[in-house]
C-alpha cells in the first residue's frame, strides 16, 4: 500500500505577517521540507479564493473573526486572505515546492468554501484529490500544515471517511486558536476519528 504526503496551505497569508496569520505558522516549513524529501508522492494544497469570497468578513461588512451564526453550523468570517494570484496566496518562500508532485487549489468557488483538500464545504463537491490518490494505489496519508483547527482537521477527517490511514505529524501543525484550545480540541477529534498523531522522529524511522 502506497503512502502519500499532504502538506496543507503553507502560504504567506497563514504565516506571521500574513492576512490570516497562524501563530508559529512559518515554523512548520522545515518539517514540510524534511517530509517532502522523505515521501516521494506528495501533494501541496493552496487556499485560492476569488475577491469577495463567501468566507470573507468584508463581503458582509462584518468584522474578521466574527462568528456568522445565520448558517448551520456557524462559521468564522475571515479576513480577506489567499486571494488568487496575490502574494499572500503564494507558498512560503522557503517551502521546497519543487519536491511536490501535485498542487491542489481549493476554495475557488465564490459561494462555497473548501477547508478540506478532498471536498468543498458542502461535503460532496470533490477537488479530485481522492481520485488522484486512489488511482495511484495510495492507502495511507501523512498530513501536516495549517491550520490544525480548520483545513488540517477537515482534510484528515475526510481522509478517514474515504477509508485512508491517516497520520498527523505533531510538529508540523499549528492552530488559529480563534477560541483558546481549538487546536487541541481539533487534534482530539482527529484522534477519535482514527487518525494517529505522531512525531516527526517516529515518521522518519
Residue (of 165, 162, 80) closest to 123 by Cα position: 162
Q: Which stretch binds ligand VGL (CB under 6 A): 34-42, 56-64, 146-154, 165-173?
A: 146-154
Which residue's entry shows cell 505558522?
A: 25
- Residue 157 main-chain phi, psi, to 5 deg: -70, -40
- Residue 110 main-chain phi, psi, to 5 deg: -60, -40
Q: Which of 26, 82, 149, 151 is catalytic?
A: 151
Does residue 9 touch ligand VGL according to CB under 6 A? Answer: yes
By CB under 6 A, name the one of 146, 173, 190, 195 that touches ligand VGL. Answer: 146
Is 15 part of the annotated catalytic residue set?
Answer: no
Smallest gap from Cβ 198 to Zn ion, in A, equals: 26
Burial class (CB in 10 A: 0-12, 13-18, 19+), 168: buried
What secondary structure letter does DSSP report for 71?
S
Q: Which residues contact 75 (CB under 8 A, 6 or more apart)?
A: 55, 67, 68, 113
Which residue's entry shows cell 501533494?
A: 43
User: Which of ligand VGL, Zn ion, none has residue 147 at its interface (CB below 5 to 8 Å by kind)?
Assistant: ligand VGL
Nearer to Zn ion, 47 or 158 (CB): 47
Nearer to ligand VGL, 103 or 136 (CB): 103
- Residue 45 main-chain phi, psi, to 5 deg: -100, 155
Nearer to Zn ion, 47 or 182 (CB): 47
Is 195 part of the annotated catalytic residue set?
Answer: no
Binding characters for Zn ion, 33-72, by CB under 5 A (x = yes) = --------------x-------------------------
Q: By rule CB under 5 A, what count of residues binds Zn ion?
A: 1
- Residue 33 main-chain phi, psi, to 5 deg: -65, -40
Q: Which stretch binds ligand VGL (CB under 6 A): 124-132, 143-151, 156-164, 177-185?
A: 143-151
Nearer to ligand VGL, 42 or 139 (CB): 42
Does residue 9 touch Zn ion according to CB under 5 A? Answer: no
Residue (of 65, 72, 73, 74) closest to 179 by Cα position: 65
Is 106 part of the annotated catalytic residue set?
Answer: yes
What are the catalytic residues?
Answer: 9, 106, 151
Amino acid at each position: 500500500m502506497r503512502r502519500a504526503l499532504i502538506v496543507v496551505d503553507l502560504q504567506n497569508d497563514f504565516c506571521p505577517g500574513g492576512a490570516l496569520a497562524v501563530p508559529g505558522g512559518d515554523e512548520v516549513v522545515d518539517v514540510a521540507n524534511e517530509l517532502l524529501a522523505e515521501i516521494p508522492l506528495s501533494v501541496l494544497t493552496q487556499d485560492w479564493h476569488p475577491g469577495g469570497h463567501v468566507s470573507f468578513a468584508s463581503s458582509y461588512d462584518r468584522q474578521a473573526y466574527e462568528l456568522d451564526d445565520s448558517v448551520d453550523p456557524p462559521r468564522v468570517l475571515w479576513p480577506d486572505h489567499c486571494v488568487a494570484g496575490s502574494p499572500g496566496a503564494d507558498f512560503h518562500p522557503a517551502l521546497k515546492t519543487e519536491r511536490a508532485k501535485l498542487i491542489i487549489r481549493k476554495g475557488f468557488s465564490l459561494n462555497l468554501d473548501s477547508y478540506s483538500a478532498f471536498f468543498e464545504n458542502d461535503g460532496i463537491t470533490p477537488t479530485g484529490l481522492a481520485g488522484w490518490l486512489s488511482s495511484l494505489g495510495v492507502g495511507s496519508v501523512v498530513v501536516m500544515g495549517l491550520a490544525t483547527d480548520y483545513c488540517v482537521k477537515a482534510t484528515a477527517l475526510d481522509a478517514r471517511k474515504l477509508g485512508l490511514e491517516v497520520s498527523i505529524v505533531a510538529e508540523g501543525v499549528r492552530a488559529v486558536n480563534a477560541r483558546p484550545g481549538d487546536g487541541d480540541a481539533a487534534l482530539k477529534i482527529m484522534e477519535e476519528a482514527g487518525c494517529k498523531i505522531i512525531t516527526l522522529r517516529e515518521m522518519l524511522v
